[in-house]
Amino acid sequence: HVSGILVTEAPGVQIMPIRVLNSDGVGTYWEVAAGIRYAVDHGARIINMSLSAPRLTPSLAAALDYAATHGVIVVAAAGTGSGPNYPAAYSNPLAVIGVGASDQNDNIPSFSGGQAQDSDVFAPGNDIYSTFPYNGYGLGSGTSMSAPIVSGEAALLMSRYPDWNATQIKQRILSKTDPVAGTSTGRVNLSKA
């Protein structure tokens, strides 16, 4: 579902699938951190993390800093818990773009991120139509659907402005938004960006 959103947002994007969770959606912080480092070391320019966890471990923080040091943009779902939800809530602003979900009316659905620190920006995340396994299509809702919309926007901006660095791409995404009810944080607007 997430990959389908990515290729819809940024046709022609190359996806490097890295599995850090098992089929039940369970994994360790170390495995997630190892996945980040693997992606950076193998040429990823954007890492989409449609996952969240309640803690920030030293290994996860170090991996996120490693990505930032290498100019890789990390986009993370704000999660559904009461928060803080990591890696979206990581306090290093250069390391992660935390993405909350907005609905069709630019409201924040009840399932979107627990705290303001979880969401640097919002993106559509309610009833998103995309691919499903075994040649299917269907609707999905969650911040996991919002994150690839932002990752796709980052990919399009990289394509449009190849000389821009990761910080410039992030600043453009965060500064070109539309209002979301009840918050000063905006919803992405690709045409403005």
**What pLDDT, in 10s, does the model give residues 44-70?**
999 999 999 999 999 999 999 999 999
Query: How far is Cα 115 from Cα 119, in angstroms, rounded to an integer?
Result: 7
Q: Decide if 33 contacts 61 (C-beta within 8 A).
A: no
Long-range contact pairs involving 103-112 (C-beta distance under 8 Å, separation at least 24): 105/181, 106/178, 106/179, 106/180, 106/181, 106/187, 107/180, 107/181, 107/182, 108/180, 108/181, 108/182, 108/183, 109/141, 111/80, 111/141, 111/142, 111/143, 112/78, 112/80, 112/143, 112/146
Per-residue pLDDT of 98-129, as tens digits, reads: 999 999 999 999 999 877 888 999 999 999 99
Q: Residue 97: which pLDDT band, with cuts at 50, 70 and 90?
A: very high
Q: Which two tokens stand for residue 88?
A: 């979206």
Q: Are 157 and 169 in contact (CB under 8 A)?
A: yes
pLDDT score at 15:
96
pLDDT band per the 50, 70, 90 thresholds, residue 82 = confident
The pLDDT score that the predictor gives to residue 80 is 86
Contacts of 76 (CB under 8 A, 6+ apart): 49, 51, 52, 86, 87, 88, 90, 96, 97, 98, 99, 147
The more confidently predicted of residues 35 and 92 is: 35
Average pLDDT over residues 129-144: 94
Provide the pLDDT for residue 133: 87
